[in-house]
Amino acid sequence: MGNTAASMLDDIFAYIDARSENYIRRLIDYARHPAISAQNRGIAEVSGMLVDMLAGLGMVAEAVPTAGHPMVLARYEAGPEMPTILLYGHYDVQPPEPLELWKSPPFEPTIRDGRIWGRGLGDNKGQHFAQILAIEAHLVVSGRLPCNVILLLEGEEEIGSPHIADFVRTHADRLRADLVVTADGGRHQSGLPLILYGVRGVFSFELRARTGSRDAHSGNYGGVMPNAVWKLVHLLASMKTPAGEITIAGLADPVRAATATERAAIARLPDDMPAYMKEAGLTELDAPRDRPLFDRLMFHPTLTINGLHGGYGGPGSKTVLPSEAVAKCDIRLVEAMTVEQVRTCVAEHVKKFAPDVEFVPQGGMQPSRTSMDSPWRAVLREAVVQAQGIEPLELPSRDYSRAHFL
């Protein structure tokens, strides 16, 4: 970073520091206006407020209609030769109910113990409003931004983003960027800032076994009628060994090995698993036992049985021979696995090992992983250091600690 740029940043930080009270007051005012996507409440008002505010900064801003709630889309143009950064956030919030559990009213943000308490402050208004204020401060002090900036604020994140895929496809040209930053999480549970480079994907499926038109009596038909639960037990056992090795042919073929940069980032992560294990009552980690902790979460697919149900489940014993059973499973995908590839591998495995078991593919989400060798990594890290005065932790992929935030 050149001297001029560094000096400019100092001026901007000084400008921001001088206005922190004002910024907090404006954030609180913003958070007084609920946009509750699940209740279709306040959407037009808040999206309109944002468009006005962003247009006031000189950005080209509009609320773009979708089949659901509008997307607030704003653009600052630094020049076609300049890099483009897209900042994603969402202006909708969760419903505040049950109201009786709030110590202060959800839409009258209150400062208590050095924190602002109110609906949406931590998810996601605090984050994207800070970005808007940063853009404002930069523009006021320097008269320009050093790159093109696209700001995309969704109004349906809290109801599962049902229209964002369509929106991105339709408006791909307006969304093209060199870097996408999503500031919609928390810090690492250690308290350190965190840059997350990827998430695991998921593919869910059901296995349904039916061995007859009705249950039978084990004393009369044991050894004669096939047992639907046994069929699933043997099929599942053919998919993963007791030692934890997934044995579905081809499933893990696309998996990329961790890079040296990723390994180095992992080596910096605190291992608070012993505390978690104690809290969760675990006496051992899952097989395979010799796999390093973060490798389990970032570099290997998992095959989880979410549920398996068949036959009698009441008190005592019942000599039933079950004719049907269902297993629900999910596979966590790491780069470069894909939902389609995994679905094909599982389908072929079931067809080979238990062709009479019905394979029912369900929802899926692709995994993502941004290369930590990207030149943008240094920019991001430097931004965090400049803003917070501390080196961030970096996760190649999401780890268990995120459970404390989501």
Burial class (CB in 10 A: 0-12, 13-18, 19+), 135: buried
Cβ closest to a second copy, residue 53 vs residue 298: 298
Amino acid identity, residue 112?
R
Cβ closest to a second copy, residue 52 vs residue 286: 286
Q: Which residue has the tokens 């030692």?
A: 243
- Shortest CB 108 distance to a second copy, Å: 32
- Shortest CB 306 distance to a second copy, Å: 5
Q: How many CA atoms lie within 13 A of 148 on its CB side?
A: 18
> Which CB contacts under 8 angstroms, 24+ apart, belong to 262-270?
262/298, 262/372, 262/396, 265/372, 265/393, 265/394, 265/395, 265/396, 266/294, 266/298, 266/396, 268/393, 268/394, 269/294, 269/393, 269/395, 269/399, 270/190
State whether the Cα torsion 239-245-247-251 is positive or negative: positive
Cβ closest to a second copy, residue 304 vs residue 368: 304
- Shortest CB 91 distance to a second copy, Å: 25
For residue 124, say if its preceding peptide bond is cis, omega within 30 degrees of 0. yes
Cβ closest to a second copy, residue 4 vs residue 317: 317
Q: Which residues contact 12 (CB under 8 A, 6 or more apart)?
A: 137, 138, 141, 142
Cβ closest to a second copy, residue 394 vs residue 399: 399
- Shortest CB 305 distance to a second copy, Å: 4
Cβ closest to a second copy, residue 35 vs residue 216: 216
- Shortest CB 32 distance to a second copy, Å: 33
Cβ closest to a second copy, residue 270 vs residue 375: 270
CB 350 within 8 A of CB 213: no
- Shortest CB 214 distance to a second copy, Å: 7
Burial class (CB in 10 A: 0-12, 13-18, 19+), 80: exposed
- Shortest CB 243 distance to a second copy, Å: 9
Q: How far is the CA of 263 from the CAs of 269, 291, 294, 298, 395, in angstroms?
A: 10, 14, 10, 11, 10
- Shortest CB 199 distance to a second copy, Å: 8
Cβ closest to a second copy, residue 13 vs residue 221: 221
